[in-house]
Amino acid sequence: MCGIALELAQPAACVNIAAVRAWDSHAALHPRGPDHCSTHEVHATGARAVLRFTASLLQLRGRQPCVSPGVSDQGHILCFNGEVFGGLDILSGENDAARLLAALAAANAAVPDVLGPIRGPWALLYWDPQHQRLWFGRDVLGRRSLLVHWPDAAEPRLLMSSVSVLDNSSELDAGAAGNGRVVQVQGEEGAGAAAGSKAVATVAGAGGEEDGDEPSGSDGFWTELPPGLYSIDLRSASSGGDAGCDPDSGGARSSGSGGSSASTGTGAGAAAVGEEGSNGAAAEQRLERTFVLPPIPGSVAALTSSKSPDGGGSHSGCGSGRDLELRVVRHAWRDPLLRELEAYRRAESLVPAAAAAAAADAAACDGSSSSSSSSSSSSSSNSSSGTGAPGARQGAGRGAVEAALGREGPRQGAEDAAAMALPLSLPRDPDPCSHVDELAVCLLNVMLAAVKVRCACIEPRSPHPSAAYGALVARAAAAAAAAGAPGGDYGCPVWPSWRASDPQSYDASAVAGAVSGAVAGEMVQAPQLPLPPVMILFSGGVDSVLLAALAHRSLPLDVPIDLCNVCFDGGKSPDREAARSALAELAAACPGRPWQLLEVDATLEDVDRHKARILSLLRPAHTVMDLNIGAALWLAASGQGTLRLLPRQQQSAATGTTPDVVTGTVAAPAAADTEQTVLPAPPAAGGSGSTGSSNGADALLIPHYGSPARVVLLGHGADEQCGGYGRHRTRFRLGSSSSSNSDEPLVDNAAGVASGAGGVANLGGGATGGREAGRWRALAAELELDVQRLWIRNLGRDDRLVADWGREARHPFLDESVMQLLLKARLSSIVDFALPPGQGDKQVLRRALALLGLPAAAARVKRAIQFGSRIGKQHNRREFGSNRAANRKNAGGVALQDVTKAAAEAASKAWVKPPKGQRGGG
């Protein structure tokens, strides 16, 4: 993983950097890549422009140390933030970014041909010196962050970065007061381009567009770059004194405005688009937009001109005072699977009632011949059996498998889904007559391959520094407790580190001292135990438990797995209780694994302490929901808290076999009369205490634990593809194509589940014909929209939050093969809203968990992280007075700068119980 950044400007603007907004890319990118950080600068010979590439490196692949940016012998430059899980041959011990740079350099101008087959998340910046072309983009799903600032009068540089500047209050204020501008994709053609454009134009980020606040895709300065591959040909740059920067357009001109045609690509744009036409690639390139690279402000330009060697006027090589017009070209994906995922459209035949209605209409129009009538009635009966009888076979699962295996498609489809042939032994036998079980088994095989590659592509390197920090604090606490330090005053650094003003200082000198002491022999050396290579963000729900069960089948049995859970309610949140219950169920269903539940306990005060940093990471997202989700995710990704081990694991921990992550050794057992292996947690607000609920009353707690894992597995994409949100059930019930902004489940208590189940069941029983077809079509459209806007709502934001701790987010549910299988499956095999919450939503995932022997987790009702951790409830109470008042204002969609106003309005409308004697009544 890397942090990547680009500055593109006219040379004078680079020389006179003090005249424009200061931007410290090293400071912003270093937390993402602590292993290496450097800058490489080049001058474009075809234009008066300087390109400055900066990248930081967290090296998870390759045995030899690498640098970033990567530079070839011919001058090619690659800043790569991602992972290559397929589509490029990478030898054992080889770094994937270095291999990709070699492939791109050898490909001449055929960059799309190299990147098309790549499987895995990526964002990149690539400079081709031979053709003087800058390439940049994100993978088809946008799984890695890449922000762009188009030049304007205030900031005349083109800026791209993985993340905004950290703790830059002036820039933060400028963004918060942005003009509501959203850089939209214009002039595109094709289903995929239209989908991306629709997501930018209609999606309110994390909600709130109904109130008119600015979508999260832009904050007035930074904009989320839509997924895709783009290029700028600096040889075709044109200049002119009358091409002044329009401040209202941010220095950028849409290709669809000013009379230019994006579809035809006239003028210089046509030359840029057409020069690869030898293989027909020109037809797959479209002019995306033009933008103006302005010179430095007039006062500085005059100063620069006065210092020119020729004694007067502007110097042509150091900024001429004239605008430089550049054109951005978007390159269509050439890989069939990527085109399919970009468009993300489920075939009409896979939407059960809709397919039946279409068949019936076609039969009526054709005059109802005997053959067509029988076909129509057969199709209708199959469809109704899918909605009314969940166990009835539809035959859709087999068709999806055939298509995904490539038996009905191009060769690439067979390669992507080859993992489906892997055998997966199951503790429960699937029902051979159930289309849901058939799809669940196929999904388990594909998911297993996705989890395996994400657990395997991790070279054993130094553990995360929070692990060393936790070991240091634990050692200091043990020494202080043995010495009888009063009142829990351990005299050691703050724990967790985010309770200090600088969350990532880690007290380097103290850690170094602990390491030197161990090397000097102060610790007894013992055989090294494996360290957890991955950490799973663990709510105890369907998605996270499924990831844990598949990670168990992907890693050696003696390797621990960290399951990280965050709570804002003193250890009593719904997710905390669910996580402890799921831990016990996992230990029973997956025996022999050293499962480690890492409990992170935080408060709103912890969020306030680092609010400026979190807001910087969120940018351009900026709603209350973004902050609640972002704060919970950021604190969880720290991997610092209390470790909970089950009773079967107590013996190894209590006898000193817990590895010391400072040295990679195991501490010797303490003497019987001074045993301090397990200590009471130091007093802290929101602590979980020494015992938990009935699910973990006998568990062993280790108070100071930092996860050494550099990789975090996340469940992104499961709800969007499998109907996990409450709004999906609502959309199916209403049969409307209008969008809902609520991510909260439809019900959140037992009474609600009962009433919701009855309502849906009655609704399903009486629905027929076109009404039923409308419901399925509406649900399919809602799922399609959710997947298409994942990049703008979740993926870029959450990549920035997790990576800030020097950990890499990986998303098995967004593996290309997993998505292909689910997209080709019949919708009624994936979800069945005739069943109540906890059963019908994410039906196929729940069945997969049940087949793995985890029925309790399979029946758990969905809760989003802001609700399950209780941060949303705590924040609503503090800012709006109550949850009810917050809900009246749709608090999740309120822009952060409008919270005070919205809270005041909610308070003014709140009902107050009148005193006795003043109540009305008859």
Which token pair is 632? Answer: 């919970």
531-648+699-737+770-906: CATH architecture = 3-Layer(aba) Sandwich (3.40)
The two beta strands, 147-149 and 158-161, are antiparallel
- Which residues are registered as beta bridge partners of 253? 290
Q: Which residue type is seen at 293?
A: L
Q: What is the predicted pLDDT for the residue at 424? A: 66
In whole angstroms, what is the distance from residue 141 CA to residue 204 CA? 18
Question: What 8-state DSSP symbol labels residue 730?
Answer: H
Q: What distances in angstroms separate CA 915 from CA 39, 162, 424, one per listed residue?
A: 69, 57, 67
Token pair, residue 738, equals: 């209008």
Please report the DSSP string for 316-384 in residue order: GGG--SSEEEEEEEEE---SHHHHHHHH----GGGSHHHHHHHHHHHHHHTT--HHHHHHHHHHHHHHH
The C-alpha angle with vertex 94 and arms to 89 and 99, in degrees rounded to 5, equals 55
User: Hey, what are 680's tokens?
Assistant: 């009471």
DSSP state of 658: S
* pLDDT < 50: residue spans in the chain: 15-21, 168-215, 241-279, 298-320, 368-401, 403-422, 488, 515-527, 650-694, 737-767, 912, 921-922
**Whole-number Å distance between alpha carbons of 491 and 241:** 66
Contact 555, 561 (CB under 8 A): yes
Report how far residue 365's alpha carbon sits from residue 22's, in angstroms, rounded to the nearest whole number. 67
* 3-class DSSP assignment, residue 540: coil
Count Cβ neighbours within 10 Å for each residue of 861-888 and write b for 16 or more, e otherwise. Answer: bbbbbbbbbbbbbbbbeebbeeeebbee
Q: Is 236 helix (H, G, I), strand (E, B) or coil?
A: helix
The count of C-alpha atoms lying within 13 angstroms of the C-alpha of 830, restricted to the half-sphere facing its C-beta, is: 27
Query: What's the confidence (pLDDT) of residue 226?
Result: 95
3-state secondary structure of 534: strand
Residue from 156, 209, 216, 206 nearest 183 by CA: 216
User: What is the C-alpha end-to-end distance of the chain, expressed in Å?
Assistant: 70
Report the CATH architecture of 1-166+222-236+288-294+324-334: 4-Layer Sandwich (3.60)
161: helix, strand or coil:
strand
Give the pair of three-digit tokens for residue 216: 């999260």
Write down the pTM of the prediction.
Answer: 0.79
Q: How far apart are CA 850 and CA 845, in angstroms?
A: 9
SS3 899: helix
Residue 132 backbone class (left: φ over 0; alpha: ψ -120 to 50; beta: rest): left
Backbone angles phi, psi at 799, to 5 degrees: -60, -40
Return left, alpha or beta for 487; rule: phi > 0 is left, psi -120 to 50 is alpha, else beta: left
Q: What per-residue string of b and e applies to 31-67 under the rule 16 or more CB within 10 Å gives b? A: bbbbbbbeebebebeebbbbbbbbbbbbbbbbeeebb
| Beta-carbon contacts of residue 692 (< 8 Å; ≥ 6 apart) | 571, 576, 580, 644, 699
Give pLDDT tens digits for 689-737: 333 444 555 778 988 899 999 999 999 999 999 999 999 999 999 986 4
**Run of H or E including 543:** helix 542-552
* Torsion angles phi and psi, residue 749, rounded to 5: -155, 170
Whether residue 213 contacts residue 123, with contact meaning beta carbons closer than 8 Å, is answered with: no
Give dist(CA 207, CA 794) in Å, integer: 12
| Residues 347/353/354/360 CA torsion (nearest 10 deg) | 120
Which residues on adjacent β-strands are paired with residue 808?
A: 711
What is the identity of the amino acid at 316? S
- Spatial separation of the C-alpha atoms in residues 294 and 10, rounded to whole Å: 8
- Encode burial over 541-558: b for 16+ CB neighbours within 10 A, e otherwise: bbbbbbbbbbbbbbbeee
Q: Are 727 and 767 in contact (CB under 8 A)?
A: no
Contact call for residues 158 and 293 (beta carbons, < 8 A): yes
CA pair distance 729, 761, nearest whole angstrom: 12
What residue segments make up the domains of the chain, in order of their start?
1-166+222-236+288-294+324-334, 531-648+699-737+770-906
User: C-alpha 751: how far from its chain's center?
Assistant: 33
DSSP summary character for residue 198: H
DSSP secondary structure of 829-866: HH--TTSPTTTSTTHHHHHHHHHTT-HHHHTPPP--HH
What separation in angstroms does the CA of 910 have from each of 403, 881, 884, 904, 914?
Answer: 56, 9, 9, 10, 12
Q: Return all residues near 700 (Cβ < 8 A) that are at least 6 apart.
A: 644, 645, 646, 647, 649, 650, 653, 654, 678
Rg of the Cα atoms in the chain: 29
Quote the CA–CA distance of 456 and 555 in Å, as a whole number. Answer: 8
Q: Could you tell me which of 154, 143, 176 has the C-alpha nearest to residue 23?
A: 154
Contact (CB, 8 A) for 215 and 182:
yes
